[in-house]
Amino acid sequence: MNLNKNKVKIVAHNVNEKLPQECTNIAEVRHEIDNIDSEIISLLAARMEYVREVVKYKDGTAKGIEASERRKAVIKTRGEWAEQKGISASVVESVYNTLIDYYIEEEKKLI
């Protein structure tokens, strides 16, 4: 992923050197988990760039920034996506609630 202040470019690539079943010890497994976590953080940074951009299209009020209907829809769909991937919807929904709270506070700083 390449990210700079003016342009966001997301480049999809495989972050893992090995498949889980190819790892032969705990250090290799942890290395692969670290690779995934690094990519997740890069993607969150890219998401933040879009969050900053979306402020331009909102009405500039706290209520407009919070966009409660959009939030509900995002939480619901992310939970559904989690279930489709075989992971806990409630955990993913909790993570997204925390992320959205953070992004809303960041957006409010921009209005």
Contact 3, 45 (CB under 8 A): yes
Identify the band that residue 85 occupies on the pLDDT scale cut at 50, 70 and 90.
very high
Digit-coded pLDDT (tens) for 61-83: 888 899 999 999 999 999 999 99
Say what the pTM is.
0.79
Q: What secondary structure does DSSP assign to 12-38, as a single string?
A: -----SS-GGG--SHHHHHHHHHHHHH
For the chain, first and last CA: distance in Å? Answer: 28
Digit-coded pLDDT (tens) for 1-41: 444 444 545 444 567 889 999 999 999 999 999 999 999 99
pLDDT score for 1: 42
